[in-house]
A = this chain, B = another copy of it.
Amino acid sequence: MSRSQGAGGEVWLDDGQQESWRAVIGLLTVLPAALDGDLRRTAGLTMFEYTVLASLSEAPERTLQMSALAARASASLARLSHVVTRLEGRGWITRKASGRDARATNAVLTTAGWEKVAAVAPCHAQAVRDLVVDALSPSQLRQFGIAAAKITRRVEERAPTTSA
């Protein structure tokens, strides 16, 4: 066990676990900031905004119901609604009432939105390859992905998803 110099919780994790945890924290702090910053500078987009646009670009008819889109992006409906309003203002998305359910709203990617995604995607993919994929060996990346998925599944089991 670690000697406890601070008031921190180090004593509750053994040395190895603590070291691993610090590494994860570091990643959680640094990687989103880097990707977000890169995307913001080169494309004027947030990671989340990009995710929304990209999700729509992959959907049939480039259309997705708001709640489905929120689930895809692991976001609350409130957050998504605000963001879609912004993206609508920039001309990349339009809202359309759903035919099936009068309560539902569909988000549709416009042509301009499609072009935006197409223009940004290569840069973003390049950044991902630079910072993540090329940093690890192929098998290391594979194992890393598996572990990440395991943790994610665990988090989703324990913590009820943020659905305000």
Residue ranges of A at the interface with B (Cβ–Cβ < 8 Å): 5-10, 12-13, 16-17, 19-34, 37-38, 51, 54, 57-59, 73-74, 114-115, 117-118, 121-122, 124-126, 128-136, 138, 140-156, 158-159, 162
Contact between A132 and B7, CB atoms less than 8 A apart: no
- How close is A92's CB to chain B, nearest CB, in angstroms? 11
Q: Are A74 and B140 in contact (CB under 8 A)?
A: no
Q: In the complex, which of the residues B117, B148, B158 contacts A23, with contact meaning CB atoms closer than 8 Å?
A: B148
Bound-complex Cα distance A17 to B142 (A): 8
Of A16, A26, A59, A151, most buried by chain B (CB within 10 Å of CB) is A151
Contact A128 B8 (CB under 8 A): no
Identify the closest chain B residue to A17 (Cβ). Answer: B133
Closest chain B residue to A130, Cβ basis = B158
Give the CA-CA distance A118 to B16 in the complex, in Å: 22
Across the interface, do A5 and B152 meet the contact criterion of CB distance under 8 Å? no
Most buried by B among A31, A118, A155: A155
**Minimum C-beta distance from A5 to chain B (A):** 6
Given known contacts A32-B28, A135-B150, A145-B21, A159 and B37 CB-to-CB distance under 8 angstroms: yes
- Separation of A16 and B111 alpha carbons in the complex (Å): 30
Distance between Cα atoms of A118 and B31 in the complex (Å): 29
A121 touches B7 (CB 8 A): yes
Compute how far the CA of A145 lies from the CA of B15 in the bound complex, rounded to whole angstroms: 12
Contact partner of A147 (CB less than 8 A), chosen from B6, B7, B130, B140, is: B140
Name the CB-closest residue of B to A113. Answer: B7
